[in-house]
Amino acid sequence: MKQAFRITAFLLSLALLAVAGFPVLNAYGAESQSQKTLVLGTSADFAPYEFHKTIDGEDKIVGFDIEIAKQIADDLDAKLVIQDMSFDALLPALQSGRVDLVISGMTPTEERKKSIDFSDSYYQSNQVIMVRSEDTDKYPTMDSLKGEKIGVQKGSIQEEIAQNIPDAVLTSLDKISDLALQLQTQRVNAVVIEDTVAKGYLSDGALALAAATPDEAPVQAAIGIRKGNTELLGKVNETLSRLKNDGSIDKMVTEASLLSADRVPPSDNIFSIFWQYRNYYAAGLGYTLLLSALGVLFGFVIGLLICLLRMTGIKVLQWLGSAYVELLRGTPMLVQLMIIHYGLALTLDINFSPLQSGIITLSLNSSAYLAEIFRAGIQGVDRGQMEAARSLGMTRGKAMRLVILPQAFKSVLPAIGNEFVTIIKESSIISVIGMVDIMYQAQVVKNITYKGLSPFLIAAAMYFMLTFILSKLLGVWERRLSVHDRR
């Protein structure tokens, strides 16, 4: 038992070391805060605007939006930092100050102008209807789309267009690549999309453009900037004016379109896909392990404290502990993540990096469940144990630490192990805020390869191996702790 507690003490020491470096800990190894940076928010699944591309064996976000951002950063004498996230998370990230500007083929609608400022437009595109090749003649006009299942990107101008189609059943998703898969698997019958973006999905012949065309006038793309930041807005407009006048943007669009079209069809062999993109998954594995390990350690400590709080004789402390547990167990982890990552930034100006937000969310969520597990274990210890310890002259705290908790810990170890396994799996939720874990990298590989199943099967196998190994290690530890019980 003493060895078990020495191991636990060692792990908690690692947690304290992590806390000491927490202010500088982030998902991207960011450089010193003294270095001037320009943080760009984008949703990199919108070729040729912005998309992932493997160049010289390294994953890079490219596209003509990215080239424009580089020019803006150069004019500001700043280092460009790119944060990839879902499209509907871009406005909250900009409003909360997490990013300095948003470039993602965004249309400056009147509704969006209420929340953020927009630069001058830099590109114009038309809206089209993408369908399966065999359905090309099925939708000659917009009237023929009435009552159809239609896919759109969440929070986009295309979603607003589709909402005006009578009786249409909308499927709104974050990623364009997911919409293409919905269309190919016959879950939707049409997708409203920009013509520039649609070109990247028509090369294999499975998808095509319908004759139906939305009546909307050509839409403009502009750069989103936090409301009131007139200095940056002026600098951005100066750069855009220069790039439009010398024809640089047209050249960037052409080069990005060629780069998007220049992709080698991936093998259908899942092992080949894994080996080709092993560096992506390796990076995701590292962050998943870091998220899970720190989430487990902090959750363990906080859960134990909340458990002891609930078992005090002080009514106020008991109520606070109960409220903490019920609140965190009664709300989804995704909601908790959004509040911590965006809500705190918007209301209290507290900006956590994706890694920090992920660790805090996992720690708080798991601590609520661990608190109940610990409480059940402590209440399962015979009352006579405490009475015997007190009769030997131990204080209540010392008896709890040396007599009750060791027995309780041993009895609930399987339940604690199950919670640790759950944390590893639920860490995949953190990918929605741009945390480059296994799930995030699976999305990236899917966007690059246009393979809807293989990248996620690889991710599933990796999560299974992590949880399987952890389960076996916990089983070994449980047997070692129980060796003295067999007499």
pLDDT tens-digit map of 418-448: 888 888 888 888 888 878 889 988 888 887 7
To 10 degrees, what angle do helices 454-481 and 278-310 make? 40
Residue closest to 309 by CA, chosen among 387, 368, 395: 368
Which residues have CB under 8 Å from 341's CB, separation 6+? 352, 354, 357, 361, 433
Question: What is the rounded distance in angstroms from the CA atom of residue 183 to the CA atom of residue 133?
Answer: 11
CA distance 178 to 43: 13
Q: Which whole number is the average pLDDT over 400-411?
A: 76
Q: What is the pLDDT of residue 18?
A: 46
Orientation angle between helical segments 405-426 and 278-310, nearest 10 degrees: 140
Query: 83-100 pLDDT, tens per residue?
Result: 988 888 889 889 988 899
Q: List CB contacts of 171: < 8 A, sequence separation 6 or more.
A: 149, 150, 151, 152, 179, 182, 187, 188
Report the DSSP beta bridge partners of residue 125: 219
**Sign of the CA dihedral running 173, 175, 176, 179:** negative
pLDDT in tens, 213-245: 887 767 889 999 999 899 999 999 999 999 999
Residue 119 has pLDDT above 50, yes or no: yes
Cα gap 176→43, rounded to integer Å:
10
HSE toward the beta carbon, residue 137, CA cutoff 13 A: 1
> Given a cut of 80, is residue 203 above it in pLDDT?
no
- The candidate with the shortest Cα–Cα distance to 282, out of 448, 460, 434, 459, is 459
Tell me if 62 sits within 8 A of 53, measured CB to CB. Answer: yes
Q: Assess contact for 5 and 406: CB atoms under 8 A.
A: yes
The full set of domains in the chain, from first to last, is 2-26+272-485 (1.10.3720.10), 37-122+221-263 (3.40.190.10), 127-217 (3.40.190.10)
Those residues whose C-beta lies under 8 Å from the C-beta of residue 342, and which sit 6 or more positions away, are: 89, 92, 93, 96, 98
Q: What string of DSSP letters covers 364-428?
A: HHHHHHHHHHHHHHHHTS-HHHHHHHHHTT--HHHHIIIIIHHHHHHHHHHHHHHHHHHHHHHGG
What amino acid occupies position 294? L
**Please, which pLDDT band fits residue 383 given cuts at 50, 70 and 90?**
confident
In 3D space, the residue among 343, 93, 69, 106 whose CA is nearest the CA of residue 219 turns out to be 106
pLDDT at residue 484 in the model: 57
Q: How far apart are CA 335 and CA 439, in angstroms?
A: 18
- The answer on pLDDT for 189 being more than 70 is yes
CA distance 47 to 256: 8
pLDDT > 60? residue 8? no
Residue 88, classified by CB atoms within 10 Å of its CB into exposed (0-12), middle (13-18) or buried (19+), is: middle
**440-485 tens-digit pLDDT:** 888 888 877 767 788 889 999 999 999 888 888 877 877 776 665 5
Stated pTM of the model: 0.68
